Every structure is written in C-alpha cells, then in structure tokens.
Amino acid sequence: MTRLALVALLAVALGGCGAQRDPSTLTVFAAASLRTSFVQIGERFERDHPGTSVEFSFAGSSDLVTQLTQGAYADVFASADTGTMDRAAEANLLDGAPVQFAANTLTIAVAPGNPKGIRSLPDLSAPGISVVRCAPQVPCGRAASAVAEAAGVELRPVSEESSVTDVLHKVTSGQADAGLVYVTDALDAGERVTAVDFAEAARAVNAYPIAALKESQKSEAARQFVSAVTGPVGRAVLRRNGFAVP
C-alpha cells in the first residue's frame, strides 16, 4: 500500500525554516490540472524507489510559485505554463533548466447533456449563460483570455478562480452553466460534465515544464522524479489522461 500524501495549500507551513522534514519524503509542487496524472506517476515512483514517499501540493501554478518565492519548501516544481516557470527561474529557485513534458488546451465544460445548448465560444456571451473561468494571472486564465481574444468574444464571468479545478467544481456543483477548463480536467470529470470543444482552443496551447529545485535536500531523488515524469512511464500516464506529450 502506498502512503502517497495529497497536500493542498499547506506549502508555507511545510516550508518553515526550522521544520523537521522526513528524509524519505519527496515534496512536489504541481499545477492543479496534474493531480490525476501525478498521483499515478507518484505511486509508480514509490514502487520503483522503495523507502521513498511522494507528497504533493496541488494548486494554481501562480499560487505555488508565490509560495516558493516566500520560502515554502519543495523538491520539484511542475507548472501549467512556461511563464510561471520563468518566474521561478528569475527567483533563482531552479536546479538546472526546466523540461517540457506535456501540453494542454481548453474546452468548455457544461452540465451533462449540455442543457443550455452551448456549441461554441461565442455562445458563452449569450444572455442568461453564467460562465466561470480562471483568473487572468494563472495559466488557465491567460489561456482563457487568449482564446476569447482569438474568437472576438467578451467573456463576462460570474467568478474568476485561482485554479482550473475550482472552475470545474463551479460547473459540477451547478453554480455555473459553463466553465473554461483544460481538456484533461473535463476528461477526468467523466460523466459529471459534457465537454464542448471549440476551434479557438488551438490558439492557446499551454506547455507544462518541470524542474528540480535548488533548495531541495534530496536533489538526486528530485532529479529521478523529473526523469520519471519525462520518461516512458510518465508519458504513458499523461497521454492516457488526455495530455499531449513531446
């Protein structure tokens, strides 16, 4: 049995200067859209590296890099876009150059069966349609802005969320008629949503980079995890969960 731990938004607590860290635990900060894939990769990594456990913090990439720059501890960082990883690099957080390991695009998530009849991105601006999207400062939000501009659509969201999983929750809980989410998140939601693809999504492809972190106390294990994500096992998992892989 794996003791894989899923930790959300507790990074600052983990990163206190005097914190005692389990030497067998590898801490990975990863974009919220990577949850399903990275849990699966982490379980395989634990089997292949007996005595090592993987602990994840999943959140919006922008929130994670902010936590890292404020002193939170992690061994590996995986972002949902290159811009956020660039912020980590500019803060001198990275141990080596980041590696692109996946790509993702947006789709429109709606209630099962698409009761509002949404067929295209312009439909999201129709009267009576409540839309939710990611905030502009996070990768999924920047992608949403790009596709809206490409389509000539002005989105009027009822809320802007800090992560794509929060957008998806607004749709699955009935708080919004539609949400712009990654293809992978809609796939992971299964029958809880219907995905409506749109042509403009190709105008905002998010590349996902990963890197070991300079402050890691387990640098070899961190590099091994990066290799697991970018290698054949990781690529197979990511492809199965809907990501495009190099």
DSSP letter for each residue of 1-68: ----EEE-S-HHHHT-TT----TTEEEEEEEGGGHHHHHHHHHHHHHHSTT-EEEEEEE-HHHHHHHH
Question: Quick check: 147 pLDDT over 50?
Answer: yes
Instruction: Tell me the domain boundaries of the chain.
Output: 25-103+208-241, 104-203
CATH class of 25-103+208-241: alpha beta
Which option is the CATH number for 104-203: 3.40.50.2300, 3.40.50.300, 3.40.50.12160, 3.40.190.10? 3.40.190.10
CA distances from 31 to 1, 19, 80, 154, 164 (A): 25, 24, 6, 27, 9
Residue 194: what are its φ and ψ, rounded to 5°? -110, 135
Q: Identify the pLDDT of residue 23.
A: 78
For residue 205, what is the DSSP state? P
Return the H-helix or E-strand segment holding 212: strand 206-212
Amino acid 22: pLDDT: 79
pLDDT at 241 over 60: yes
* The pLDDT of residue 14: 42
Q: What percent of the chain has pLDDT over 70?
A: 91
pLDDT at 61 > cutoff 60: yes
pLDDT, average across residues 48-75: 96
pLDDT > 90? residue 197? yes
What was the pLDDT predicted at 20? Answer: 57
pLDDT at 19: 52
> Which residue is listed with tokens 């969201």?
157
207-222 pLDDT, tens digit per residue, is 999 999 999 999 999 9
Q: Could you tell me which residues come within 8 angstroms of residue 90 by beta carbon, excluding any fewer than 6 positions away?
A: none
For the cut 50, the answer to whether the pLDDT of residue 86 exceeds it is yes
- Binding site as annotated, residues: 33, 61, 164, 182
| Placement of tokens 């389990």 in the chain | 22
- Mean local confidence (pLDDT), 194-212: 96
Is there a common fold for 25-103+208-241 and 104-203?
yes
Give yes or no for residue 52 having a pLDDT over 50.
Answer: yes
Annotated binding site for molybdate: 33, 61, 164, 182
